[in-house]
């Protein structure tokens, strides 16, 4: 973790962003959106080379990612303190691109994949890379419906994944809790996307 932070800080000292090829996340997001709009294909991809050339390898990789996410979900159910997660299974986990688009998802309440995607895009569009910063080891917490959550009882966690000082993905999860705690009975505190360090 410390090594990743050092690499990321060196990139920033050189005036580079944490995205691919030294771009900021916003620049990377806008580039992706531009390619998608121009070509009517996500990121300008008209075909998936690996899927076409090595379909078995592609399916093995996808199945491994999905299996890991389902395993994370099931483990979370086993350790959950809230019966809505433990007994009803209202939770979901996903892996996302640096720009916030889903790569693979667990089973569960799938609407939450979109809410996590929206929260990542909110952070990108509100320059979280600059303030409060996005660094290796950070955990971002959110339950604000204006940022992307369904309602305040859905607690979202988003973790940036870095390699060589560059953000390469996000891991995220949403768990439904009974109570978020508040000043008065039946109230819910809203947590806009907060960095936990």
pLDDT per residue over 87-114, tens digit each? 888 999 999 999 999 999 999 988 889 9
pLDDT per residue over 111-144, tens digit each? 889 999 999 999 999 999 999 999 999 999 998 8
Measuring CA to CA, how many Å separate 168 from each of 28, 77, 96, 141? 12, 27, 9, 19
Angstrom distance (rounded) from CA 61 to CA 132? 34
pLDDT of residue 49: 93
Residue 18 scores a pLDDT above 90 = yes
pLDDT of residue 196: 82
pLDDT of residue 121: 97
Q: Name residue 158's beta-bridge partners.
A: 140, 172
In which band, very low, low, confident or very high, does the pLDDT at 187 lie, cut at 50, 70 and 90? low
pLDDT of residue 111: 87
Answer whether 129's CB lies under 8 Å from 145's CB.
no
- Domain range for 146 is 2-196
Question: How many Cβ atoms from other residues are within 10 Å of residue 111's Cβ?
Answer: 11
Number of folded domains in the chain?
A: 1
pTM of the model: 0.90
Measuring CA to CA, how many Å separate 13 from each of 18, 70, 165? 11, 39, 12
Closest CA to 99 of 119, 72, 71: 119
Residue 184 scores a pLDDT above 70 = no
Residue 148 scores a pLDDT above 70 = yes
Residue 68 scores a pLDDT above 80 = yes
């Amino acid at each position: 973790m410390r090594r990743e932070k050092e690499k990321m800080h060196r990139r920033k000292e050189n005036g580079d962003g944490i995205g691919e090829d030294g771009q900021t996340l916003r620049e990377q997001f806008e580039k992706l959106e531009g390619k998608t709009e121009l070509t009517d294909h996500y990121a300008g991809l008209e075909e998936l080379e690996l899927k076409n050339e090595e379909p078995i390898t592609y399916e093995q990789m996808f199945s491994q990612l999905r299996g890991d996410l389902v395993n994370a979900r099931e483990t979370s159910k086993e350790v959950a303190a809230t019966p809505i997660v433990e007994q009803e299974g209202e939770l979901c986990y996903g892996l996302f691109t640096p720009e916030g688009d889903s790569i693979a998802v667990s089973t569960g309440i799938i609407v939450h994949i979109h809410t996590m995607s929206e929260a990542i895009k909110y952070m990108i569009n509100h320059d979280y890379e600059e303030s409060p910063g996005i660094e290796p080891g950070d955990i971002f917490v959110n339950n604000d419906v204006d940022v992307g959550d369904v309602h305040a009882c859905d607690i979202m966690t988003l973790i940036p994944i870095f390699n060589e000082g560059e953000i390469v993905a996000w891991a995220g999860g949403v768990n439904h809790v009974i109570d978020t705690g508040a000043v008065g009975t039946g109230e819910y505190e809203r947590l806009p996307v907060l960095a936990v360090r």
